Structure 1
Amino acid sequence: MNNYIDMNDVEQLIIDKLTGQIGEEDDLRLEELIAQNQEVEQLWQQMAKVYAMRKAVSFDQSFNVEDAWQALQQKVNILQPVTEPVTDTVAIPIRSNTSNWWRYSIAAAVAGLVIISLYLFIDYNRNQVTAAKTIQIKLANGNIVHTTAQDSLAGWLRNARAANIDPGAWNTLTVPAGKNYAFQLADGSKVWMNALSDLRFPLLFTRPERVIELNGEAFFKVAHQASQPFSVQVNGLTVKALGTEFNIKSYNKEATYISLVTGSVLVENAKGESIILLPGEGVVASDRNSSLRKESFDEATVLGWMKGVYFFRNEKLHQISVVAERMLDINIQLKDPTLAGLHFTGAIDRNKPVSHFLNMLASSGDIRYEINKDKVIISRK
């Protein structure tokens, strides 16, 4: 009798159950494994505990960022001790090494975060984990701050204070391939950043208008301040918002898409042409000088990346490969250039092994793939 249990498979079953995505058959299978195997039972208890801790704290819980910012203001007027903000977010790494990921998550839960760092580790063979790349902040004076799951806004402030930089000066946050990142600006506005994205912002909004710059993709939940308007500069466009939630996608050599979820925004191009959006409406611009084109959008599709999923419908393999490289931090090579024009419908799920996505493509019957070190080579059958 074969008693071998693939713990990577068990880990995925537990993740599916905790997130409510498990099927009835897999659910029964997991219950049997928990009942019959002590190691599986221990893993279930550990992962369930971490997930419960994660659910207990929410990114939307409020905290006073201005109190934290007083630490930096004391650089000029030293009136009181530094006050560090308290955690309100915990992120669970997905598909990492079974023996380490839950310890790491519990430590993060105890230490606390103001900033969430979503470390989504992808493997090629359900055992090999990709090397991590760091999310970093380039401060106004050129100093680089590498963020980790235990970094906090107070940590940024300490670096800024030590560097003696202007709190209103520009800093750049960079998110590498394969990662998402979410944090709160000094005004209370929340930003969720997609992979391969840059955001330029001041640590404190000291000017009459709150202005930031984006290259890549991000979702914004803007804190309403009528006396200090909020706008995003992106690829020659200006997106002005008040008390609004919207998504912007603008990667290099791609069109810019602005999708409004709630509130209203005014979008203006370099020629001074503008358009006002209502919830459910979006704007597309091929470049900074092109005309603005209004269109409707599917919210679940546009915002899927925030849950680690990219949906594509009748899309060319070339574009799918570009997104896969960005989301999964892999290198895809099309052996035959004519493959780029093949159309596919499906999804890229960063929470599953890379093989899940590649097998989905190969199931079309037209292509096959092989993995050579850190490169995925796609060819015709």
Structure 2
Amino acid sequence: MEQQEQIFHLYMQHLAGMLSAEETAYVTEQLAHNPSFKAAWQELAARGEAMGVQQFADRVSAPAALQSVKQQITPARKVFPIWRVAAAAALLLLAGSAVWLLWLRPQATQPSGLAHIRADKQPVRLQLANGETLTLNDSSQRTITLGNVTLNTQQGALAYSSEDTTTNTLLVPAGENYKLVLSDGTEVRLNAATKLTFPFHFGIGARKVYVEGEAYFKVAKNAAQPFLVSTPLTEVQVLGTSFNINTYHPGTVSTSLVEGSVITRRGQQQVQLQPGQAANFSTAKGFSTGSFDEEEVLAWLNGIYYYHQCPLADLATVASRFYGITIHLDRTKYAGVAVTGLMERDKLAEFLSDLKTTARVNYRLESKELWLQ
């Protein structure tokens, strides 16, 4: 497998015209005297020729590459599940000027120990107002009765019925996501490492919830009761609409409107959004608005995360949350290194293989933590 990855990397460098003189001499020597090297190289060349890879590589750019990915793997409506189509998904990553194609990438094997790490991920938990904590198993279908509250869990989702207006907190750990249907019919999708505080039943007046992390809301319309979402820094007011809120980055909140209309505010500052607009608030600069890429912002609903020229140090932080494991990085060695591509949930082995191919990043597993080196 190690030799396969080396040959693959050299072939991609060859396509991009990035082979050094030493590498060119090495490839020439191996093709002449190493039958297994030659066979692997010719297989890559044949598969690439069949798909016109060289012509595509000659004109590709990072933004165009990611747009190609979205067109191939994202359905017309972003919120439905999507699956990789093995021979057709057109993922391209650029590390420097080197181009590599997912459809040519050798199959990534499951690194030893990673399955055990995933098995140790924390469960989704519901903290009730009375202090009791319930564990919500992703795969189980259960009906739980607690006093005047009936909870129904099924396939990573929770619905309930109750007249209790006390507040509860749903905690989604790193590496997981969860769906909640509120008492008014509002649907909330919670991303990894996210907390939502909500009442089992909305009383008279505004419907209020609190979120930290990232969540997608599809709010049930009720003109008599505005829906208010509080974050650590801002508040969003809606009547009936669909929008995404992201508070992952300290000191910032991003609100992206898909349908309807919302007003997001901080103190005396406020911004009203139209569909396709996003409001970004930072403690340093206040509000700024602009358009957003809906496919990209909502990709997490389908278990995907896109990154554009992302510093490797930042990507390690994102990947830790996305996969639910602790990832450390040799920041000195990789200072200034940035990569472009995507991550898919439950495909940590492929992500690590991609990093090795594009940025020559190795890893070691130690005490259930990953060290990129």
TM-score range (shorter-chain normalised) is 0.5 to 0.7
Q: Secondary structure at 1:282's aligned position in 2?
A: strand
Contact residue 231 and residue 247 of structure 2 kept, 8 A: yes
How many angstroms does 1:254 deviate by? Answer: 5.2
Q: Which has the higher contact order (CA 8 A, sep 6+)?
A: 2
- Answer whether contact 2:323 2:346 (CA < 8 A) is retained: no
CA shift digits 1:115-162 (9 cap, x unpaired): xxxxxxxx644983422421111111111111123355x526547589
Structure 1: how far apart are the matches of 2:175 and 2:319? 9
- Cα separation, 2, equivalents of 1:141 and 1:344: 46
Root mean square deviation, CA, Å:
2.8
Listed as ranges, the gaps of 5+ residues in structure 2 are 1-80, 90-109, 152-161
2:84 partner letter = Q
1:181 Cα deviation from its structure 2 partner: 0.2
1:172 — aligned with what?
A: 169
CA distance in 1, matches of 2:113, 2:84: 19
Task: Quote how far apart the aligned CAs of 1:190 are.
Answer: 0.2
1:258 aligns with 2:247: no
Map of 1:277 onto structure 2:
273
Change (3 A) 1:342 1:374: same
Residue 293 of structure 1 deviates from its aligned partner by 0.6
Structure 1 counterpart of 2:140, one-letter code: Q
Provide the secondary structure at the position in 2 that maps to 1:313: strand
Structure 1 residues 207 and 298: CA distance shift in structure 2, 3 A: same
1:334 and 1:340 in contact (8 A); partners too: no
How far off is 1:21 after superposition?
2.9
For residue 296 of structure 2, what is the amino acid of its counterpart?
T
Partner residue of 2:133?
144
* Greater share of strand: 2
Q: Percent same amino acid among aligned pairs? A: 32
Residue 134 of structure 1 is matched in structure 2 by 123
- Give the distance between the partners of 1:159 and 1:173, measured in 2 at CA: 19
- Is structure 2 residue 367 aligned with structure 1 residue 376? no
Residue 298 (structure 1) shift: 0.4
Q: In structure 1, give the amino acid aligned to 2:179.
A: A
TM-score, with structure 1 as normaliser: 0.63
- Counterpart of 2:94 in structure 1 is none
Aligned residue type for 2:220: A
Q: Is the 8 A contact 1:171 1:201 kept in 2?
A: yes
- Aligned AA (1:339): Y
Cα 1:159–1:329 change in 2 (3 A) is farther
Residue-pair matches, total: 261
Q: Note the alpha carbon deviations across 1:101-126, whole angstroms, 9 max, x for none.
A: xxxxxxxxxxxxxxxxxxxxxx6449
Structure 2 partner of 1:333: 328
Q: What residue ranges of structure 1 are gaps of 5+ in the alignment?
A: 1-17, 27-122
| Structure-2 separation of matches of 1:166 and 1:342 | 54
* Kept after mapping to 1: 8 A contact 2:170/2:195: yes
| Alignment-mate amino acid for residue 234 of structure 2 | L
> Quick check: 2:365–2:371 contact (8 Å CA) kept in 1?
yes
Aligned residue identity for 2:115: Q
1:291 aligns with 2:297: no
Given the alignment of the two structures, is residue 357 of structure 1 paired with residue 347 of structure 2, yes or no? Answer: no
Q: Which residue of 1 aligns with 2:55?
A: none
Judge conservation of contact 1:139–1:160 (CA < 8 Å) in 2.
no
Deviation at 1:243, TM superposition (A): 1.3
Moved more, 135-144 or 366-375: 366-375
The amino acid that maps onto 1:21 is: R
The offset of 1:359, in angstroms, is: 1.5
CA shift, 1:376, in A, is: 1.5
Q: 270, 283, 300: which is aligned to 1:305? A: 300
Alignment deviations for residues 72-120 of structure 1 (CA, whole Å, 9 cap, x no partner): xxxxxxxxxxxxxxxxxxxxxxxxxxxxxxxxxxxxxxxxxxxxxxxxx
* 1:219 is the counterpart of 2:216: yes
Task: Give the letter for the 2:372 counterpart.
Answer: I
Task: Pick from 186, 189, 204 the counterpart of residue 207 of structure 1.
Answer: 204
Structure 2: distance between partners of 1:201 and 1:323: 26
Judge conservation of contact 1:311–1:348 (CA < 8 Å) in 2: yes
What letter is aligned with 1:313? H
- TM-score, normalised to structure 2's length? 0.64
